[in-house]
Amino acid sequence: MTGWKLRPDGRWEGERVIVKAIRTILIGLTVATGIVAPARSEEMIDEIVAIIDRSIILKSDVLQQMAFAALQQGLSREQLAGAQAEQMFRSILDNMIQDELLIAKAKEDSLEVPSEMIEQRVRDHMKSMKDERGAAEFHRQLQSEDLTEREVRDRLRERFRKEAIRQMMHNRMIQEISLSPREVANYRRRHEGRLPPFYSVSHIMVSPQANKGRKTEAKERAEALLVKVRSGEDFAELAREHSEDPGSGPRGGDLGFFSRGDMVKPVEEAAYSLSPGEVSDVVLSEFGYHILKVEEKQGTRVRARHILIGLKPSDSDAAAAYQRAVKLLERVRAGEDFAEVAKAESDHAESAKNGGRLGTYSDDQPPPGFASVLPSMTLGSVSQPVQTEFGWHLVKVDDDESSLSEIVRQVKMQAHFEQVLAETRQKLYIDIRFQ
């Protein structure tokens, strides 16, 4: 009914379409890499690909992570052929080996995780799963997977223990890193006048906003569709014909099951206020005007359909956004603080509250959308307006002490991390069987 599947480690795996997609990718990977015999590819023959001390890594573990990575990156079976698939397999296997080395180092250092902390996480996670899906559905899923609650708890306990050990090791290594003002100054001096190999980026985003006439037109269309829904026309058919949500529209507006926090606030509030079978009034969100119909509720989750009439900016709206970005650039170049302008003016709410800060990047992994402009930038420089699908952006390569200190700390942390792994590797029995 719901399409959700409970894994033995206590994680829930998306909807059935996702599970099917992963299985399809896995079958393709087995053939593309030659890692698993293509015959009977649905029933993959497992084997050990690495041994680290007393721990083993199975081929199926690596392939499962490959399938999720491919799905997240939108890679098809054809794109994951030959060398690319093998490269991804090796990269994921290396990361899994690193995890096991960290855990082995923690054992060597006698790091222990408080058992009550782990037990509390297990209790909270079990309660969350039951609350979200309802006790009856939870137990039905256990039966369908031939699992008991005890088995799920045991797997969760081991998973949370490993996660806690990794975090403790990470925190310990951070504490072992010291940083001096001279090191930060040296980093600035070495990379003066060019883009460093590691850098921090901030931005100010200006999104085109639909004008009043467009908003009125969209609202009138939504209200007309609501009249049709309430007069008895089929909601799913109306969604297929009129909804401007490219994801749910072809599925009759079906949003699937979602929990609080998964949707924008107006849509969430409307959905949770309705009973199954009820239809909302027209609801306005940042995406446009919605009409919602709740299909069913299960625990704390809701399954709903919606019809979206989007707020499409016109060409003149896009031009107005560009002019606004130009004016903000003039303010910054006249001496106003970039972070303060971002807090007050940026349309990207998530980064605006942090002064526009997006995070730290490297020359081989730039932030999406800005790859073309960054190579010509230097520490402290601000770009001309850069256009992406979200609007216009002013991009800054951060040069404040806090940003540079964080970058230098990360560089030193990576070097220390690699040293710890190398030393640990020398002390353990390691057998890498995938060549």
Q: How far apart are CA 286 and CA 265, in angstroms?
A: 10
392 and 279 assigned to the same domain: no
138 and 163 assigned to the same domain: yes
Q: How far apart are CA 218 and CA 41, in angstroms?
A: 50
> How high is the pLDDT of residue 347?
94
Phi, psi of 308 (to 5 degrees): -110, 130
pLDDT at 33 over 60: no
> How high is the pLDDT of residue 90?
85
Residue 97 domain-assigned (yes or no): yes
Q: How far apart are CA 370 and CA 431, in angstroms?
A: 42
- Host domain of residue 299: 212-310
328 and 357 assigned to the same domain: yes
Residue 416 domain-assigned (yes or no): no
103 and 238 assigned to the same domain: no
Residue 396 domain-assigned (yes or no): yes
Average pLDDT along the chain: 84
Work out the angle at residue 207's Cα, subtended by the Cα atoms of residues 268 and 209, and round it to the nearest 5 degrees: 75
> How high is the pLDDT of residue 37?
38
Residue 349 domain-assigned (yes or no): yes
Last-in-domain residue among 258, 282, 310: 310
Cβ-proximal residues to 69 (8 Å cutoff; 6+ apart), any chain: 88, 92
Q: How far apart are CA 9 and CA 12, in angstroms?
A: 9
Which range has the top average pLDDT, 115-129, 132-146, 281-295?
281-295
225 and 198 assigned to the same domain: no
40-49, 154-163, 273-282, 289-298: lowest mean pLDDT where? 40-49
95 and 166 assigned to the same domain: yes
Residue 247 domain-assigned (yes or no): yes
> How high is the pLDDT of residue 58?
87
The structure tokens listed for 382 are: 């601000």
Last-in-domain residue among 281, 310, 339: 310
Higher-scoring residue by pLDDT: 16, 255: 255
The structure tokens listed for 229 are: 């829904």
57 and 115 assigned to the same domain: yes
- Tens of pLDDT, residues 146-190: 778 888 888 888 888 888 988 888 888 888 899 999 999 999 999
- CATH number for the domain that contains residue 230: 3.10.50.40
> How high is the pLDDT of residue 170?
84
pLDDT at 32 over 80: no
pLDDT at 213 over 60: yes
- Tens of pLDDT, residues 311-354: 888 889 999 999 999 999 999 999 999 999 999 999 998 999 99
For the chain, the domain total comes to 3
